[in-house]
Amino acid sequence: MSNHRGRPRNSTFQDEPAELRIAGNENNPVVQDGAPNIEGLTIDLNEYSYNRDLNERGTSRQGGADNGNGAIDIDDVTFNNSTIATDDVGHDVTRLYTICEEASNRQGEAGNRRNSLAASIQSVDVMSSTWDAIREWLAAHPMPGERAVAATYQGQFMTTALHIVCKLQSPPTDIVQDLIDCAPETVAWADSNDWLPLHLACAFGASYDVLSLLVQAYPEGRVAQDKRRRTPLHFAFGATRSEETASDINSGDGNDESMDGNGICDIVRLLSDSGAARLSDGTGKLPIHYACAYGTSAAALQILFDTHPNSIFANEDKGRTPLHFAMVNAHRPMSPSVVAFLLSVKDTDIINIPDNSGDLPLSLFAKAVSFDPYAAEKNENAFKCLELYINAKPHPTAEFYEALFAITSHNKKLSHEIRKRCFRTYLATKPLVGKEFFDAIKRLPTWLQIEAFISPSSSMMEYLNSKTSEPIPTMMLMLDFTFLVLLVVFFQLSANETIDCLFDNKGVGDSFPAYLGVLLTISIYLCVKEIMQIIRYFKAGSLRTLWFSDVKNILDVCLVVVTFLWCSVMFQCIQEDQSFDSSGKEWYKAAMAFTVLLYTLTFLLFLKSVLIDFAVFVSGMTNVIRNLLTFLVSLMIVLLAFAGAFALVFQGTRTCNGTEDNSLYTTEKNGMDSKFCTFRESLVTAYFMLLGQIGPEETDDSIIGKWIYAIFMFIVVILLTNVLIAIVTESYNHIKASKAQQVFWYNRFAFICEVDAIAEVLPKHKCFERFMDWSHRTWRIWNDFRNEEIEYVTDSTLSIDSFLSGILFLVTYFLVFLWLIAGLVSLGLLWPPQVRQFIFGYNFEEMTTARVMKHAENNMNEGIMKQINDLKKETKMQRIGLKKDVDDIKQQINGLKEETRMQVNRLAEDVNVIKAQMNSFNADMEEIKELLRALSKE
């Protein structure tokens, strides 16, 4: 007898759910390929260990003894009323079980090749021949005693023929009914794993009619539990049913009871009526956990929910809810409908319930779901589940954001698309921006951070305004502004004295040491600021990913290094007898000029993060330069071509007479001072001609030169200049119209990140926090008092009380003025939050309103253009229709003309015929007259 039945050993359902095995400890092992799975949910339908010790094999409930190979010793079997008592009785008794067992073995072999078409055809043939063989056996053995003995015969693992039939593919109801009639008690018999025939029928996808027969024969079987305490209802959701049944399960939501797609609903209703929906397995999983893991229809879940309402947020032993299992198997076809149902139940907080390890459903989704570029359908199912989860608006905790931004793929290109899509889906819900969200996007790469500012929500703008208005950011803004202005001014003042001192041996003024001190102080401030940022990012482990990826940080470091270098050079002027070689004077001047440009660029970048107009300007210029690359290359080619043409035309002419040779690159010439005698001078001249500084008088000595000059003016000055204007205008307007807010708010976000990195290193004092709260309350009280006093003074008549109120009002204004001065001196630290908000905050409501109005205007313009286009299309169609009608009328007229002409021709022919007849008649009349004359003469 073969030791291989049904499915291969350790096999389970096709496409089983992943196990929740998260890496990290002994209790949560990791699979070899690193893919996380759902531990404890695997339902092994072939739990029989075919290599077990023979002592564990089943024996007959009729007292038959095991003969050592798992078969029953027929001599020990009592046949009772059977009339069969010959030597072949044993063969007849085991024949029914053998037929079923062989079919199970062959089905298992076909299951190993289930992707093969030949295997599928073979499986159908095997089942068909098996059912015919069983019917033949039953027809050949009509006696109840014979049937009872065969039906109660138990093979390995205490299985009967009914057990194995329920394990086969699509068992017919007549055969199941006949086996039940042969031995009704076998419906209640459990095998060595405590599985009833009902367990196997549910596990292997038997039809509803077969399950109904088993339930009717033994209703208590619905709540029977195996060794792992699983009921048949647990097995029903992972079964692989026949083609028509499987397609039914994955269809619809079960609202139409007349549809075959509701077969799973009938099965769930049949099995859950007894209370099986409330029974958990050995790991605490209810049937709804299995249903959510494997996927089923919303109608089936509704039945489970109606039977046991608390099951929807029930936790198994590891604290996982049904939503955990649905999200971790989000790639499955029915998972979106499962997630939608779970999240549609009101008055539940299932979306925010973590398991015992602190993992949210989204956390397990991020760990288990691996997006494959070659599995588009599975990816789309997972995205649908993710969108449903995000649209349910889970609590914006740090765990949630960590899970959201951990969703990725092994494919780098697909990973970027996935992360962008996930982030955009979340941003579309207009989440409330808080510290957790802000801290989360700080850790994101720049290309993903920008997504949050493409269309910033009011919550995002309000949060950035509040962060900018805090004491430390306000102080940093004012310090940066003050120091950058002083840096540009004092470097310019000290640069000229430094050059004269080092190369001309001139002394420096009395204020030079003060200039140097200011520059050194600014350098130290900038250096300390960058060091504090580096420390913060280093502690967070994001130095490489965040600090080095920001070009502004590199620019700030260059600024610090350059300033320190110039301070060391300027310090030489304070010492005595310090003089440099005059040959390097020009290089020092050039270096100082570029340093001034560096300081100016840094100052512009600072203003870009503070003022929206500067943000638009700087970003617009950057975008223009980026879009001008192709144009500049084309312009250079044209200039080189015309420079060569001018040099060739004027070479050897009177204009360039007296040159030492005829080379195009001759640089020494006599005679007239022309600008086209050498290629280098011709190239410079062509460039200045582009700017309009060279007139046509330079080409008076050459007719060809005048023609080339005319062509140059048309191509370069007229054509390319207008192209340049168009490119610049379009590029700048694109930034101004569509990216103005994105640029500004992202720059403000970058500034806040920079300040936060510094603030986390600074010590925090509770006294200062209490002072901030006091200042906030005091300013609010003063505002209320001011409004009341204004109303009182306006409404009251002249009196002592009104006079005193006015004095008090002026005193408060004076005190507030002193408060504002103190805040200015303290770089904003002593200002109340309302003042900082007023100065550095932006009215995002006004900006949002303007954006909405602009969007409405664009929509209106688009609507008008659409109406115009529709009118054009309608007019065109009408014109075509009219033309067609005119053509038809012309054809009709031509037809009438042709018909009239033919009728006229026919009339003419008739007239000719009539004329001929008349002539013939006249001739006949003449003959008659002649005859009459002849007769009359006679």
The pLDDT of residue 404 is above 50: yes
Instruction: Read off the pLDDT band of 628 (50, 70, 90).
Output: confident
The pLDDT of residue 40 is above 60: no
- Tokens linked to 832: 């109340």
Three-class DSSP category at 66: strand
474 alpha-carbon distance from chain centroid = 36
In this structure, are residues 95 and 151 in contact, taking their beta carbons and an 8 Å threshold? Answer: no
Pairwise CA distance, residues 670 & 660, whole Å: 9
In this structure, are residues 323 and 311 in contact, taking their beta carbons and an 8 Å threshold? Answer: no
The pLDDT of residue 475 is above 50: yes
Which residue type, as a one-letter code, is found at position 4? H
pLDDT at 550: 73
Which residue type, as a one-letter code, is found at position 559? L
The pLDDT of residue 578 is above 80: no
Three-class DSSP category at 453: helix
pLDDT at 654: 61
Each residue's pLDDT tens digit, 800-823? 666 676 677 777 778 888 888 888
Three-class DSSP category at 343: helix
In this structure, are residues 38 and 31 in contact, taking their beta carbons and an 8 Å threshold? Answer: no
The least confident of 99-108, 323-332, 739-748 is 739-748
- For the segment 329-348, the average pLDDT, to the nearest whole number, is 88
pLDDT at 84: 30
- Tokens linked to 216: 């009717």
Q: Which DSSP category does 258 fall into? A: T
Pairwise CA distance, residues 652 & 631, whole Å: 34
- For the segment 610-635, the average pLDDT, to the nearest whole number, is 80
- For the segment 891-911, the average pLDDT, to the nearest whole number, is 87
Three-class DSSP category at 261: helix
How many CA within 13 A on the CB side of residue 72?
Answer: 32
In this structure, are residues 127 and 205 in contact, taking their beta carbons and an 8 Å threshold? Answer: no
- For the segment 209-228, the average pLDDT, to the nearest whole number, is 92
222 alpha-carbon distance from chain centroid = 44
pLDDT at 859: 58
The pLDDT of residue 611 is above 50: yes
- For the segment 846-870, the average pLDDT, to the nearest whole number, is 64
pLDDT at 7: 34
pLDDT at 467: 81
Pairwise CA distance, residues 611 & 744, whole Å: 8
Instruction: Read off the pLDDT band of 217 (50, 70, 90).
Output: very high
Neighbours of 286 (CB within 10 A): 26
Which of these, 233, 234, 298, 301, lies nearest to 272 by C-alpha position? Answer: 233
Three-class DSSP labels, 497-547:
HHHHHHHHCCCCCCCHHHHHHHHHHHHHHHHHHHHHHHHHHHHHCCHHHHH
- Tokens linked to 661: 């040779």
Q: Which DSSP category does 34 fall into? A: -
The pLDDT of residue 665 is above 50: no
The pLDDT of residue 504 is above 90: no
Instruction: Tell me how long the chain is.
Output: 938
- For the segment 586-597, the average pLDDT, to the nearest whole number, is 87
Pairwise CA distance, residues 10 & 907, whole Å: 103
First to last CA, the chain: 144
Neighbours of 928 (CB within 10 A): 10
pLDDT at 716: 80
Query: To 5 degrees, how large is the angle CA 593–CA 596–CA 600?
Result: 140
- Percent helix, strand and coil across the chain, each rounded to 5? 70, 0, 30
Would you tell me the crossing angle of helices 800-825 and 766-795 to the nearest 10 degrees? Answer: 150
In this structure, are residues 266 and 299 in contact, taking their beta carbons and an 8 Å threshold? Answer: no
| Cα pseudo-dihedral 573, 577, 582, 583, rounded to 10 | -100
Phi-psi region of 38 (alpha: psi -120 to 50; beta: other; left: phi over 0): beta
In this structure, are residues 419 and 407 in contact, taking their beta carbons and an 8 Å threshold? Answer: yes
The pLDDT of residue 93 is above 90: no
Pairwise CA distance, residues 210 & 111, whole Å: 22
Query: To 5 degrees, how large is the angle CA 270–CA 274–CA 277?
Result: 85
How many CA within 13 A on the CB side of residue 625?
Answer: 6
pLDDT at 220: 92
Pairwise CA distance, residues 330 & 380, whole Å: 9
Helices (H) and strands (E) in the chain, counts: 35, 0
Pairwise CA distance, residues 280 & 287, whole Å: 7
- Tokens linked to 282: 């050995």
The pLDDT of residue 210 is above 60: yes
Which of these, 442, 350, 355, 456, lies nearest to 405 by C-alpha position? Answer: 442
In the block, tokens 């013939």 appear at 920
Which of these, 629, 554, 566, 636, lies nearest to 595 by C-alpha position? Answer: 566
Pairwise CA distance, residues 298 & 269, whole Å: 13
Neighbours of 702 (CB within 10 A): 18
Which of these, 95, 22, 618, lies nearest to 358 by C-alpha position? Answer: 22
- Tokens linked to 156: 């390995």
pLDDT at 634: 87
Instruction: Read off the pLDDT band of 230 (50, 70, 90).
Output: very high
Sequence-separated (6 or more) residues with CB below 8 Å from residue 560: 523, 526, 527, 530
Instruction: Read off the pLDDT band of 337 (50, 70, 90).
Output: very high
The pLDDT of residue 221 is above 80: yes
Neighbours of 932 (CB within 10 A): 10
- For the segment 535-553, the average pLDDT, to the nearest whole number, is 75
Pairwise CA distance, residues 633 & 102, whole Å: 80
Query: To 5 degrees, how large is the angle CA 203–CA 205–CA 206?
Result: 110
Pairwise CA distance, residues 727 & 731, whole Å: 6
pLDDT at 46: 40
In this structure, are residues 719 and 676 in contact, taking their beta carbons and an 8 Å threshold? Answer: no
The pLDDT of residue 213 is above 90: yes
pLDDT at 811: 79
The pLDDT of residue 752 is above 60: yes
The pLDDT of residue 34 is above 80: no
Pairwise CA distance, residues 619 & 627, whole Å: 12
pLDDT at 246: 36
| DSSP assignments along 890-915, one per residue | HHHHHHHHHHHHHHHHHHHHHHHHHH
Each residue's pLDDT tens digit, 118-146? 556 667 777 888 888 899 888 888 888 88
The pLDDT of residue 669 is above 50: no
Mean pLDDT (the chain, rounded): 75
The pLDDT of residue 346 is above 90: no
Instruction: Read off the pLDDT band of 115 (50, 70, 90).
Output: low
- For the segment 162-190, the average pLDDT, to the nearest whole number, is 91
In this structure, are residues 130 and 170 in contact, taking their beta carbons and an 8 Å threshold? Answer: no
Positive or negative, the CA dihedral 751, 752, 754, 758 is: positive
Instruction: Read off the pLDDT band of 443 (50, 70, 90).
Output: confident
- The model carries a pTM of 0.62
Bridge partners for 72 per DSSP = 66
Pairwise CA distance, residues 637 & 643, whole Å: 10
The pLDDT of residue 219 is above 60: yes
The pLDDT of residue 728 is above 80: yes
Kindly tell me the burial class for residue 269, based on how many C-beta atoms sit within 10 Å of its own C-beta (0-12, 13-18, 19 or more): middle
The pLDDT of residue 42 is above 50: no
> What are residue 66's phi and psi, to 5 degrees?
-75, 125
Instruction: Read off the pLDDT band of 195 (50, 70, 90).
Output: very high
Query: To 5 degrees, how large is the angle CA 864–CA 870–CA 875?
Result: 125
Looking at the chain, the whole-number percentage of residues with pLDDT higher than 70 is 74
Which of these, 291, 292, 289, 270, lies nearest to 281 by C-alpha position? Answer: 289
Neighbours of 521 (CB within 10 A): 14
Which of these, 105, 227, 83, lies nearest to 155 by C-alpha position? Answer: 105
The least confident of 383-387, 656-660, 741-745 is 656-660
Sequence-separated (6 or more) residues with CB below 8 Å from residue 653: 701, 702
pLDDT at 325: 93
